[in-house]
Amino acid sequence: MKEQFQSPIVLLGSRLLSPYIMLFGWYVIIHGHYSPGGGFQGGALLAASVLLIRVAGGTRLSSLQLREVINTPMATLGVAIYFLTGVVAVLAGGFFLDYGQLPIPGLEAAWLRYYGILIIEVGIGLTVMAILIMIYDNMVKGEDHA
Amino acid sequence: MFWELELVIYIFLLISAIVALEVDDLLVAVVMMTIFSFLMALLFVAMGAIDVGFTEAVIGAGVTGILFVVVVYQTSRKTND
Amino acid sequence: MKLLKFAILALFAGVLIYASNDLPYRGDPDNLMHAERSITDTPVKGNYFIQEAYNDARTPNMVTVVLGDYRSIDTFGEQVVIFTAGLITILVLRKQRRREE
Q: What is the DSSP string of B14-68?
A: HHHHHHHHH-SBHHHHHHHHHHHHHHHHHHHHHHT-HHHHHHIIIIIIIIHHHHH
Which of C29, C67, C25 minimizes the C-alpha distance to C49?
A: C67
Lowest mean pLDDT among A3-7, A92-96, A121-125, B46-50: A3-7
Name the closest residue on chain B to residue C25, using Cα atoms: B47
**What's the mean pLDDT in A98-127?**
89
pLDDT above 70 coverage of chain B, percent: 98
Who has greater pLDDT, C19 or A3? C19
Would B79 be classed as within a structural domain? Answer: no
Would B80 be classed as within a structural domain? Answer: no
pLDDT classification of A3: cutoffs 50, 70, 90:
very low
pLDDT for A1 equals 47
Which of A12, A13, A20, A11 minimizes the C-alpha distance to A58?
A: A11
- Let me know: does A36 contact C63? Beta carbons within 8 Å: yes
B7/C contact by beta carbon, under 8 A: no
Would B36 be classed as within a structural domain? Answer: yes
CB contact under 8 A, B63 and A37: no
Interface of A with B in 33-62 (CB under 8 A): 36-38, 40-41, 44-45, 47-48, 51, 55
8-state DSSP, C59: -
| Total tally of structural domains belonging to chain A | 1
The C-alpha of A29 sits at a distance from chain C's nearest C-alpha, in angstroms, of: 11
Longest CA span, chain A: 61
Q: What does the domain layout of chain C look like in residue ranges?
A: 26-70, 72-101
Question: Quick check: helix, strand or coil at residue C60?
Answer: coil
Domain ranges, residue A101? 4-140
pLDDT for C96 equals 52
CB contact under 8 A, C76 and A141: no
**What's the mean pLDDT in C57-78?**
90
**What's the mean pLDDT in A87-104?**
88
* Contacts B48 to C, Cβ<8 Å: 26-27
CB contact under 8 A, A145 and B50: no
**What's the mean pLDDT in C80-89?**
92
Domain ranges, residue B8? 3-74
From CA A36, how far away is CA B51, in angstroms rounded?
Answer: 5
Tell me if the pTM is above 0.90: no
Q: Residue B3: what residue type?
A: W
From CA C25, how far away is CA C29, in angstroms rounded?
Answer: 9
Would A145 be classed as within a structural domain? Answer: no
pLDDT at A128 over 70: yes
The C-alpha of B73 sits at a distance from chain C's nearest C-alpha, in angstroms, of: 16
Q: Which residues of A128-145 are buried (b: 16+ CB within 10 A; e: fewer)?
A: bbbbbbbbbbbbbeeeeb
- Let me know: does B61 contact A50? Beta carbons within 8 Å: no
Would B9 be classed as within a structural domain? Answer: yes
Who has greater pLDDT, A42 or C35? A42
pLDDT for C74 equals 93
* Contacts A124 to C, Cβ<8 Å: 75, 79
Would B59 be classed as within a structural domain? Answer: yes
The C-alpha of A87 sits at a distance from chain B's nearest C-alpha, in angstroms, of: 29
pLDDT classification of A122: cutoffs 50, 70, 90:
very high
pLDDT at C27 over 80: no
| Total tally of structural domains belonging to chain B | 1
Cα angle A133, A136, A140 (rounded to 5 degrees) comes to: 140
Alpha-carbon Rg of chain B, whole angstroms? 14
Tens of pLDDT, residues A30-81:
998 998 888 899 999 999 999 988 888 877 787 888 888 899 999 999 999 9
Q: Which residues of C62-98 are buried (b: 16+ CB within 10 A; e: fewer)?
A: ebbbbbbbbebeebbebbeebbeebeebeeebeeeee
Question: What are the respective helix, strand and coil percentages of chain A, to the nearest 5?
Answer: 80, 0, 20
From CA C1, how far away is CA A90, in angstroms rounded?
Answer: 62
Which of A29, A15, A20, A25 minimizes the C-alpha distance to A65?
A: A15
Would A12 be classed as within a structural domain? Answer: yes
